[in-house]
Amino acid sequence: MTIEELKKKDLIIYECLSGSHAYGLSTPESDIDIKGVFILPKDEFYGLNYVAQVSDEGNDTVYYELGRFVELLSKSNPNILELLYSPEDCIRIMHPLFKSLRQHSFLSKQCKESFGGYAMAQIKKARGLNKKILNPVEKERKSVLDFCYIAEGQGAVPVKVFLKQHGFKQHEFGLSRIAHMPEMYGLYRGSTEFKGIVKSDDANDVCLSTVPFDVEPVGLMSFNKSAYSAYCREYKAYWDWVEKRNDQRYNGTLGHGKGYDAKNMMHTIRLLNMCEEIGKSRTLKVRREDRDYLLRVKNGLYTYDDLLDTAEIKISRIEKCYRKTDLQELPDIDLLNMLLVTIRRELYNGRIGKL
């Protein structure tokens, strides 16, 4: 199922502008994000070809099948609640039967966990980017030899330094394990049969050689394999991120000079504010009245630590607010189920779903 098929078969029953345009936070550079709801044709719904979601390659346009939409709504998913209660001027398509969902409130105490949890995930994401910006990984990848050390005196020297000091080449040596001493090796030199410390520059482990019993080691060498493995994971994660990152957004992050992803932090504060509003007023305000403040956050006018302090204060207020709120514990599942069955039945009895 593709977006083109949804449109061609007239299966879309709800469609809205979402994201910054719905929040009232759009700028000339903002992308156009579209979200909506569709219903599968009857045969596909009853058969083995259920499709829960259809999106474009960049996830800028996403449609949820009616059943999946209601399932996520029952879990107080922030994206789904925002979609359901989108501002009227953002709605592009709305089937008359879909209006029955918008006529009810499905806000509950569950929003504290869903909106608050989502906000904490944004903080974690911002921290991750903050670490990448402040601690970039060099493009030239380190090798196993960078994690090997030779015992010397009361300490140790890097094996690369040892080799350079003595004018040796790593392939002149052989290694042999030392019993009961993990990651420790006897280092030998003097035989053309030795295989070297590593087989090649891109090897992922040291290389062992057969060592005659009458050959004495020239030293002891350790290979910090756990540190090497951790480095490899960090290297891959960093350069995968570099390859996939949004350069315009990244350059904006560098431009404000605060060392964090300001857009993520803006959404963190937005989610926390919305969460508190739900607890206090039992309403979801998708179009933001705090637009100016949120755009200042997006433009990097606050330090990272200040924003984290603000988030901590908001989380504390949310905890107190939800202890006092008279919101129901969970969305009305019976009502949701009844509406889902009614909408689907009437749509299938009509034109939609018979195609």
On whether both 132 and 252 belong to a single domain, the answer is yes
Mean pLDDT of 226-236: 92
Average pLDDT over all residues of the chain: 88
Domain count, the chain: 3
From CA 151, how far away is CA 200, in angstroms rounded?
Answer: 23
Express as a percent the part of the chain with pLDDT over 70.
Answer: 90
144-166 average pLDDT score: 94
**In the predicted structure, residue 58 carries a pLDDT above the cut 90:** no
The confidence band for 28, taking pLDDT boundaries of 50, 70 and 90, is confident
Do 57 and 8 lie in one domain? The reply is: yes
In terms of domains, do 315 and 263 share one?
A: yes
> pLDDT band for position 132 (50/70/90)?
low
Residue 232 lies in a domain: no
- Establish if 239 belongs to a structural domain: no
Q: What is the structure's pLDDT at 354?
A: 45
98 and 10 housed in the same domain: yes
DSSP 41-109: -HHHHHSS----EEE-TTSSEEEEEHHHHHHHHHTT-HHHHHHHT--GGGEEEE-GGGHHHHTS----T
* Residue 30 pLDDT: 84
Give per-residue pLDDT as tens, 233-248.
988 887 887 777 655 5
177 phi and psi angles, rounded to 5 deg: -65, 150
Mean pLDDT, residues 14-33 taken together? 92
CATH code at 7?
Answer: 3.30.460
Same domain, 169 and 99: no
Q: Is the pLDDT higher at 224 or at 122? A: 224
Taking the CA atoms of residue 311, residue 314, residue 316 and residue 319 in that order, the dihedral angle to the nearest 10 degrees is -120
How many whole angstroms separate alpha carbon 347 and alpha carbon 37?
A: 13
Q: For residue 141, is it within any domain?
A: no
Same domain, 211 and 351: no
Asked if residue 240 belongs to a domain, the reply is no
> Given pLDDT bands bounded at 50, 70 and 90, which one contains residue 226?
very high
- 308 or 15, greater pLDDT: 15
In a domain, 64, yes or no: yes
Answer whether residue 22 shows pLDDT above 90: yes
d(CA 290, CA 270): 8
Q: In this structure, is residue 235 part of a structural domain?
A: no
Q: What is the pTM of this model?
A: 0.66
Percent with pLDDT over 90 in the chain = 67
Residue 81, both tokens: 């609640």
Single-letter amino acid code for the residue at 316: S
Better-predicted residue by pLDDT, 129 or 6: 6
On whether residue 236 sits in a domain, the answer given is no
Does 14 share its domain with 150?
Answer: no
Are 132 and 166 in the same domain? no
**Angstrom distance (rounded) from CA 291 to CA 285:** 12
Which range of 42-46, 251-255, 335-339 scores highest in mean pLDDT? It is 335-339
How much is the average pLDDT of 261-281? 90
Q: Are residues 213 and 284 in the same domain?
A: no
Whether residue 320 sits in one domain with residue 184: no
Torsion, Cα 15 16 17 22, to 10 degrees, reads -160
- pLDDT at 261 (0 to 100): 75
Question: 233 to each of 97, 170, 199, 236, 251, how far by Cα in Å?
Answer: 50, 25, 21, 5, 25
**One domain, residues 100 and 1:** yes
Does 342 fall in a domain?
Answer: yes
Domain with 287 in it: 107-136+246-328
Residue 124 pLDDT: 67
Same domain for 192 and 283, yes or no, is: no
